[in-house]
A and B are shown apart, each in its own frame.
Chain A
Amino acid sequence: MPRQPGYRVLTDPLSNMEARFTLALGFLGLLLGIFVSAGVLAGDEQGRVNLLFLLLLFAFLPVVSLLLGLVLLLVKQNGITALLVSLPFWPKAFLQARMSIESGNRRRSWLFFESQVLSLAFAAGSIIVFIALLLGTDVNFVWRSTLLEATDLLPILQIISMPWSFWNDAQPGLDLLKQSQNSRIAGGVSSYSENWWQFVLAAQLTYNFIPRAVLLVLARLHYKHKTRISSRLERDETTVSQRRPADPEALATVVYSLPDAYQLLDWSNAPEHCKHFIARTFGKPVNLATLSANADVNSLQRSTELLSRVVLVKSWEPPLGELKDIVTLMDAQTQNFILPLDWNETSIKAASPAHLQEWRRFAASLGAWKILQPGEHS
């Protein structure tokens, strides 16, 4: 029988609709990143960009949103992505696919994955705009504060820049800070203020792009894991070695009476009431002997030449090889019968159809042997 296909994952994690949605969300994130970043990097009317705003956008907010996302995942609450996917502007086909995803227990996993796509695309958009502006314009980085001095800010920036301490050009310095401080009272901007770009890029990569990329990979793995529970069950394989198919059946004839006097050979160690039943049904045997695997067939046959021979067996026990060995030694000139009977302590009956079938097959394999059964009137 051909094996049916096994249990499959309900929805392929990369099914078309899901992939298209991921792409759409990524595109949305990219656009958001481009516009927001372009807005902030445009600076004031003189093209000056506030360094502290950049740090807020590229370091502080990404870290806060990342932590918030993880907390929401742990407390099982909806975030911005859940809100986004539930907006009604998505195509109908996606809304149907979303129902399938949300119905399973991988909803949170899926939402977390999609939120990483959104965030990573946002980070990528920001970086692209940043690099494009660096290439195409002269970005002037300044910072302004009423309360903070360069000496106050330096330790904070040094902590922020710790992860890329190996990158000397991207480290903040007191001179650089002082030179890029912009005060409307003091006026003027230092000519060195563009040197901040490495620090800003490093901050973007460290606090936004790289963590989101790592989380995206982890979220993808987790989502795959969730969708693969079923396929894991499928992998619990059972290997079954093959067997030779059974040969076609040949069945011996069933008779309900005996033609003449007979010898009864008891292979089953049958109780007395069983033998009485046989005597009543088929007539008293001329000779009664016990048949065993070690029996001397010649001596059994010598005492009963030219008699019909009936071998009494337990119908419920299948025929064994040792019975076959011994009955095949018997004289084929006489009429030979196997009598399978079904008995317990109180009653005796004919073999059940399934057992009878078994014994008929066995008798057919012996040649001219027949099956004897008590008739309906017995």
Chain B
Amino acid sequence: MTPRFAVVGHPNKGKSSIVATLAQNDDIAISTRSGTTTQCQQVDVNIGDASYSLIDTPGFQRPTLVLAWLQKHASTADKRINAVKAFLLNEDCQRQFPDEFELLTPIMEGAAIIYVVDGSRPYGAEYEAEMEILRWTGQASLALINPIENELYIEQWQQALGQFFKVVKVFNAMQAELDKQLSVLESFSTIREDWKDAIDKLVAAYKTRASQRIEATAELLAALLTKACSYQLTQKVLNKEQANALRPGLETAYFAKLKSMEKSHHASLKALYAYHHLISEVENLPDTGSLFDTEKWIVWGLNRKQLVTAAAMAGAAAGAVIDLGLAGSSLFLGALGGGLIGATGAWLGADKLAEFKLQGLPVGGYVAQQGPMKNKNFPYVLLGRFLHLEELLQQRTHARRDTLLISEGELQAKISELNDDQQKALHKALDRTSRQKPVGDFASILKPLLLTRRTPQNNSLIP
């Protein structure tokens, strides 16, 4: 049996936001205008083999009058459900109370109730009529307190809602993380026992998807780093003069391609997290050339000192392989030498960019070549920007419609959260990438970075 949930409440209390957050999809329209929703909107969510439906309903418009009608048609509690059914069959009621007719229909068809209120505004007695109507339906229900502006009146609401609903939860549609979202669904497995298996399956599917997303994100990041760091643009020319004339255009095209490469991978990341309409703006990098302005790189990548340390670690890790091969008879000079070479190279090459080269062809003429990027910080810059975007997407819910501002990330802080082996592997991999060498299982090396800033609660999602 597929679980169905009708999200109901007063108009403009965040019903659509809750549907968008639970469905994890920003296709769901959220309007600030009340009363515009006159029809139910069903959202069918399919995750792997599990599925469920969320129904966004119109808000109650005439609860006092509807309750009065129901009370007139049911003198005792055993007649209440039939009174609601009679209400839905009555043509006058359908005409007089279209919103209540619309919202009660899926409930009486078996949908469980998620009742939504705003915890930032005081409780009002006018809500009691609609809560009473919902109680009359006899369906499984829970109440969500959505603190739209603040949390000032949550306690007041909890006291009032506790008298009408078995389960009352605080759920901020704009901030609720996955475990919070799943706890809403899990609550229903105790209220509706016949849905327990389906809900357990659904929760497991959500968790599997979360870990699959991390895997896919790591792959996407590895692909971006590999492609961008190895990218070079070539053009055959007849002579050196022609090459020099071509150089500015080649440079512009090269940097533009790198930018578009990054942009397309960022777009893929957003789509991976089901953000199809999210607009993002990258702060501090408004100009075409600024991504490649070495002074600005520090904002995203590593500063010179951090870069030298990273290069030393990468060099030492590579040198250690030689020591291992010589069974330690090298007195660890491999690691020491590798570290020194790496550090020196990073220090000297910190300001290097992509080079322009001209190579003669055996059959005559030349090949003008722009790139690949030589700067050791370049992969760190791409990494920092990508990780920051991913972190923002993780913290965001699909109910938000504001533009995503990608400001300065803290790459070094993230890297320092890795253990020594992970750090060494990362620096070594990025060093190889910056030298256009393939890195085996790059995605697996990057994956720990995607797990560093998750809370212990969220870490449990990773099998």
Contacts and interface: CB of A to CB of B under 8 A. Distances in A.
Given A230-B219, A320-B11, A102 B64 contact: no
A294 B71 CA distance: 14
Q: Among A5, A107, A244, which residue has the most Cβ atoms of chain B within 10 A?
A: A107
Given A7-B272, A236-B47, A320-B11, A243 B34 contact: no
Interface stretch (A46-54, A55-63, A92-100, A367-375): A92-100
Contacts of B327: none
Given A232-B212, A239-B44, A294-B64, A10 B220 contact: yes
A96 B230 contact: yes
B61 A321 contact: yes
A321 B98 CA distance: 10
A240 B62 contact: no
6 contacts: A99-B436, A99-B437, A103-B442, A233-B209, A238-B24, A239-B44
A233 B216 contact: yes
A104 B436 CA distance: 15
A103 B36 CA distance: 50
* 9 tightest A-B CB contacts, nearest first: A321-B61, A318-B34, A103-B442, A293-B64, A103-B222, A103-B226, A7-B271, A238-B25, A7-B272
Interface in B425-444: 433, 436-444
A322 B33 contact: no
Interface stretch (B120-128, B385-393, B454-462): B120-128
Contact of A322 (B31, B64, B277): B64
Given A6-B271, A269-B124, A344-B152, 6 more contacts: A96-B230, A99-B437, A238-B27, A240-B28, A318-B34, A322-B62
B42 A241 contact: yes
B240 interface: no
Given A236-B47, A321-B61, A103 B225 contact: yes
A100 B228 CA distance: 10
Interface string B269-287: 0011010110000000000
Contacts of A244: 38-39
A237 interface: yes
Contacts of B227: 100
B319 interface: no
Contact of B443 (A11, A104, A232): A104
Interface in B35-84: 35-39, 41-48, 59-65, 68
A104 B47 contact: no
Contacts of A98: 438
A6 B274 CA distance: 8
Given A7-B268, A238-B23, A102 B439 contact: yes
A190 to B, nearest CB: 55
Contacts of A293: 62, 64-65
Nearest to B271: A7
A240 B46 CA distance: 12
B10 interface: yes
Q: How large is the interface on B (under 10, 10 to 19, 20 to 34, 35 or more residues)?
A: 35 or more
Contacts of A294: 64-65, 68
A236 B205 CA distance: 10
B209 A237 contact: no
Contacts of B29: 243
B268 A243 contact: no
B296 interface: no
A99 B126 CA distance: 65
A7 B215 CA distance: 14
A5 B442 CA distance: 26
Q: Among B215, B272, B277, B438, which residue has the most Cβ atoms of chain A within 10 A?
A: B438
Contacts of A234: 271
Given A7-B268, A7-B272, A105 B48 contact: no
Interface residues of A, number: 52
A281 interface: no
A244 B38 CA distance: 9
B136 to A, nearest CB: 18
Interface of A: 1, 3-8, 10-11, 96, 98-100, 102-105, 107-108, 229-230, 232-234, 236-241, 243-244, 246, 249, 269, 292-294, 314, 316-322, 325, 344, 354, 358, 361-362
B125 A269 contact: yes
A318 B36 CA distance: 11
A5 B267 CA distance: 9
Nearest to A322: B62
A240 B39 contact: no
Contacts of B62: 293, 320-322, 325
Contact of B37 (A1, A240, A243, A314): A243
B34 A358 contact: yes
Contact of B46 (A11, A236, A320): A236
B314 to A, nearest CB: 16
B352 interface: no
B213 interface: yes
Nearest to A230: B216
A234 B436 CA distance: 31
Given A102-B439, A103-B225, A246 B41 contact: no
B23 A103 contact: no
Contacts of A107: 440-441
B12 A4 contact: no
B113 interface: no
A320 B25 contact: no
B419 interface: no
B171 to A, nearest CB: 19
Contact of B45 (A11, A238, A344): A238
B226 A230 contact: no
B438 to A, nearest CB: 4
B405 interface: no
Contacts of B42: 241
Nearest to B265: A10
B116 to A, nearest CB: 13
A358 B33 contact: yes
A138 to B, nearest CB: 50
Contacts of A8: 268
A30 B35 CA distance: 72
Contacts of B238: none
A230 B272 contact: yes
Nearest to A361: B33
Contacts of B39: 243-244
B442 A102 contact: yes
A320 B277 CA distance: 31
Contacts of B403: none
Contact of A3 (B48, B68, B276, B441): B276
Nearest to A3: B276
Nearest to B231: A96
Contacts of A237: 46
Contacts of A249: 33
Interface in B382-425: none
B99 interface: yes
